[in-house]
Amino acid sequence: MANEASDADQVELFDTHCHLDITAFDPDRDAAIARARAVGVVHFVNPAYDLDSSRRAVALAQAHPGIAAAVGVHPNDAADFGEAHLAELRTLARAPQVVAIGEIGLDYYRQTTPRDRQVQAFVAQLALARELNLPVIIHCRDAYDDALALLREHGHGLPGLVMHAFSGRMEHLRAALAMGFYIGVGGPVTYPNAHGLRDVVKAVPPERIVIETDSPYLAPQSQRGRRNEPAYVLEVAQKIGQLRGTSMRDIARITTDNGRRLFRLN
């Protein structure tokens, strides 16, 4: 393990998807950020799921160097999405710390928002991203066929796309890659039963893979059932390195470079 610790001293990691703004981090937000920095996390992207979290994400990014924000409305929070949402997102996105629109997409697993409302909010926010020339962070659960069809129709002209917490099948991976997507991989790749996801992770071209925690959700195996935090992106990188037969240092370098290119940092 001494070996891994010395690895960690030298790597630069990018947690491309963490919700540091939410209440789960109220007791120790700064400490959680410090723990992540201590294992090499140099960039964080904090996506939003509604207007309140969009405001919080921007404020957090303004207060912490290395943290960038995305603003957007999640499909599960899109029931009342309309012009007022678009107007505020447009205003918030003017902050230089905002690097993407997200997380947006479709979620047919939870049915809190009717599908037609999800589609309407998704398409409207894709148009907003194109108008603002911002990449998009896509959330997709049990809806890959519909999401990819909508993206084929409405996802052109965007400067970047990432499918976060990818959970689709190999055919969905091929379709997403053909559309120019980056593929976000997080804690689930460490779960013993994640055979399909591990096959996917081995098949993603190196220049298209990014890593994430989705903190406070989806903790990796060693922390499963507990609150996730950005420091654990190290465990994700280690697992991907094992699966792909690549050193942790190389995985860190590759995924951090990819994240910088996707979100146009540095």
Query: Residue 57 CB, nearest distance to Zn ion (Å)?
Result: 11
Instruction: Give me the least distance between CB of 258 and Zn ion, in Å please.
Output: 18
- Collapsing DSSP to helix, strand or coil, 45 comes out as strand
Alpha-carbon distance of 227 to 236, in angstroms, equals 15
Q: How far is CA 137 from CA 47, 140, 181, 182, in A?
A: 8, 10, 10, 10
CB of 17 to Zn ion, least distance (A): 5
Task: Please write down the HEC assignment for all residues of 160-204.
Answer: CEEECCCCCCHHHHHHHHHCCCEEEECHHHHCCCCHHHHHHHHHC
Q: Tell me, rounded to whole angstroms, the distance of Cα 236 from its chain centroid.
A: 13
User: Closest distance between Zn ion and the C-beta of residue 215, in Å?
Assistant: 9
> How many whole angstroms separate alpha carbon 202 and alpha carbon 249?
17
**Count of residues that bind Zn ion according to CB under 5 A:** 1
Kindly tell me which of 21 and 214 has the beta carbon lying closer to Zn ion.
214
Q: Which of residues 136-165 bind Zn ion (CB under 5 A)?
A: none
The dihedral over CA atoms of 85, 126, 217, 70, expressed in degrees to the nearest 10, equals: -70
Q: How far is the CB of 214 from Zn ion (least distance, A)?
A: 5
d(CA 115, CA 30): 38
Stretch that binds Zn ion, among 199-207, 209-217, 223-231, 242-250 (CB under 5 A): 209-217
Instruction: Report which secondary-structure segment, H or E, holds 105.
Output: strand 98-107
Site for Zn ion in 210-249 (CB under 5 A): 214
We find the least distance from the C-beta atom of residue 145 to Zn ion, in angstroms, to be 21
Residue (39 or 45) nearer to Zn ion, CB = 45
Considering the complex, state which of residue 134 and residue 162 has its C-beta at the smaller distance from Zn ion: 162
Nearer of residues 214 and 229 to Zn ion, judged by Cβ: 214
Of all residues in the shown chain, the one whose CB is closest to Zn ion is: 214
Identity of the residue, 77 or 214, whose beta carbon is nearer to Zn ion in the bound complex: 214
Closer of 164 and 172 to Zn ion (Cβ) = 164
Q: Are 240 and 209 in contact (CB under 8 A)?
A: yes
Which residues are at the interface with Zn ion (CB under 5 A)?
Answer: 214
